[in-house]
A and B are shown apart, each in its own frame.
Chain A
């Protein structure tokens, strides 16, 4: 996968070079946000559902030690093999060892953001194991050698012409074919062959129930089930925060998840895996990778409630106009910007600043995570720890000077207005990233303070 050291702003700048694409991206995600609203507004109990979900997750986090062990004991009693991984590397080694013990060198995988976080595909490729992603959007970005740009809509940054080209090159569809129906059928035939021939399948986990040891996987395509049921070995990888206490709590989360994600009342398939099928093997890997640390950070603990619906991305004015890849982290958008600094504060110091703090994310979040507050809090931590991005540091010094001296504040305001009237190019130039892809508004002739002095009675 492509990795570079560019920060969010520089990458967003890149994404914004293609104005037509940005506008499409922006409008499409907003359209999905509106579908969410239509669906949500049909349920008068929506706010109570969010509150219940948030409280259940809070209970789960506050008793995680007990619930994890209960889940493990129940899963083992169900015939499932349970593994624990402290970090990404251990997770990857566990998967590799399971495959090795069966002499398997080809695996099919349905959507799992955790395996993106752990860079599992790269690790297995280095060890001679081929992985094929079976979610259509993930297969598309895999063929393009890119990571997903959205947790629910992995190739939302791609246009159908590009997908047609990829399919022509890799899957043999006709040159110039761009009809989504035809391209999907091409992928269906290609992946059917994969499902029927792979002896191991890896899936993610949406919810794991402590009470019963079962876990639930949600898809619209049916790819998780096709892979898992046709393989001899099913490996399910989950973060330790995916635990919920009771089976009946699934009713709350399944009602919230897809309405928030796409506006559908539920995914096409919500599959509850409890025991391996006769003669087959089922593994669950419980992965920490920084989650127990985040659990101890009081200010950021709530981020572990996330059910990965993607609503905070669809609504985010920054995400919509900068694209998922600008976040250089497996999980993009507002929630990704809270999770990433926990894993590596220095590398992800720019992300909490990639927000307007408008609060739209917190308003749509189905488990009521205080996303924008946490972004704000990360900024303080990052600055205090000395990881603030250089440009922000300079700007903040300037702000501190301006705001600490009323006289300088008045002078700076006047100077700014004069410059904007007489020489707008001075602000709207290459040195000011805000001006890229934007036109500066006309400056008012007087400040509010000046107006107020003149007009007050």
Chain B
């Protein structure tokens, strides 16, 4: 017999009687979306992101041009100054200074933003860039992870990730260092 059938047979023989799933919808309404933007900002800043509330692309460009001057900028948003389109062939992912992505969902309770392959096209881009900027509409910030998965529902994505701050490590004597392997900073722009 193959390992597959051996394992499945052993599991079937040893698994206990069915025990029902709990109702997890009780968690869905614990957090209102009213103060979600404020809570998102407080949490995101607490874990090392910088957050800007902006009216539109001009303000985003202003912040970017002040802070990121070194190398190629790649974006899925039109209107970012000097940015290459994600599918442009004229850059190496490893050289990217800043990636800017518009995303469709963010979570107040943990400062995380949801990116899918559809948003970023190349999976490695939000990880390999030196700095990352994410843009989200205020209306797309939900209160909790329960509400986030409610929004995601049974959407089809090939790959999706929650990102909640700059890449970090505390493996050396528990001293927090930003910029482990991924971006050294995360800037979040909230469009009101």
Query: What residues of chain A have their CB less than 8 Å away from a CB belonging to chain B?
Result: 28, 31-32, 45, 48-49, 51-52, 55-56, 58-59, 61-65, 68-69, 84-86, 90, 134-137, 140, 153-156, 159-160, 163, 180-181, 183-185, 188, 191-192, 195-196, 212, 220-223, 225-226, 229-230, 240, 245-252, 254-255, 262, 264-275, 277, 286, 288, 292-293, 295-296, 298, 301
Cβ-closest chain A residue relative to B2: A84
Contact B172–A277 (Cβ < 8 Å): no
The answer to whether B68 has its CB under 8 Å from any CB of chain A is no
**Contacts A180-B177, A295-B14 given; does A270 touch B109 at CB 8 Å:** no
B153-192 CB contacts (< 8 Å) to partner A? 154, 157-175, 177, 179-183
**Contacts A61-B16, A68-B11, A192-B181 given; does A225 touch B146 at CB 8 Å:** no
Contact B162–A269 (Cβ < 8 Å): yes
20 extra A-B contacts, CB within 8 A, seeds A225-B124, A251-B148:
A45-B30, A55-B20, A62-B15, A65-B15, A68-B11, A136-B169, A155-B172, A220-B169, A221-B180, A223-B181, A229-B127, A248-B149, A249-B24, A266-B164, A268-B166, A268-B167, A271-B162, A277-B123, A288-B3, A301-B16
Residues on B with beta carbons closer than 8 Å to the beta carbon of A273: 159
The binding surface of chain A is classed by DSSP as helix
**Contacts A65-B12, A160-B172, A225-B123 given; does A251 touch B180 at CB 8 Å:** no
Query: What residues of chain B have their CB less than 8 Å away from a CB belonging to chain A?
Result: 2-4, 6-8, 10-22, 24, 26-27, 30, 43, 47, 94, 109-112, 117, 122-124, 127-128, 144-146, 148-150, 152, 154, 157-175, 177, 179-183
Among A265, A274, A293, point to the contact of B14 (Cβ < 8 A): A293
Contact A222–B127 (Cβ < 8 Å): yes
Residues on A with beta carbons closer than 8 Å to the beta carbon of B172: 136, 140, 155, 160, 163, 180, 183-184
Cβ-closest chain A residue relative to B179: A188
The 5 A-B pairs at the shortest CB distance, nearest first, are namely A222-B182, A296-B14, A265-B110, A137-B171, A221-B180
Among B3, B21, B165, B177, point to the contact of A84 (Cβ < 8 A): B3
Cβ-closest chain A residue relative to B167: A222
Cβ-closest chain A residue relative to B107: A266
Cβ-closest chain A residue relative to B124: A229
Among B13, B24, B161, B177, point to the contact of A251 (Cβ < 8 A): B24
Contact A48–B164 (Cβ < 8 Å): no
In the assembly, what is the distance between CA of A225 and CA of B161, in Å?
A: 10
Contact A251–B15 (Cβ < 8 Å): no
Q: From residue B5, how far is it (CB to closest CB) to chain A in Å?
A: 9
Q: From residue B185, how far is it (CB to closest CB) to chain A in Å?
A: 12
Cβ-closest chain B residue relative to A31: B174
Q: From residue B119, how far is it (CB to closest CB) to chain A in Å?
A: 13
In the assembly, what is the distance between CA of A256 and CA of B124, in Å?
A: 27
Residues on A with beta carbons closer than 8 Å to the beta carbon of B150: 248
Contact B181–A48 (Cβ < 8 Å): no
Among B19, B157, B163, B169, point to the contact of A274 (Cβ < 8 A): B157
Cβ-closest chain A residue relative to B147: A251
In the assembly, what is the distance between CA of A69 and CA of B15, in Å?
A: 14
Contact A90–B110 (Cβ < 8 Å): no
In the assembly, what is the distance between CA of A135 and CA of B162, in Å?
A: 19
**Contacts A221-B182, A225-B124 given; does A45 touch B177 at CB 8 Å:** no
Residues on A with beta carbons closer than 8 Å to the beta carbon of B145: 250-251, 254-255, 266
Residues on A with beta carbons closer than 8 Å to the beta carbon of B174: 28, 31-32, 153, 156
**Contacts A180-B173, A188-B181 given; does A220 touch B152 at CB 8 Å:** no
**Could you pull out 19 A-B pairs where Cβ atoms are within 8 angstroms?**
A45-B27, A84-B3, A84-B7, A136-B171, A137-B169, A154-B171, A188-B180, A225-B127, A229-B127, A249-B24, A250-B145, A251-B24, A251-B27, A251-B144, A268-B168, A269-B161, A269-B162, A298-B16, A301-B16
Q: From residue A85, how far is it (CB to closest CB) to chain B in Å?
A: 6
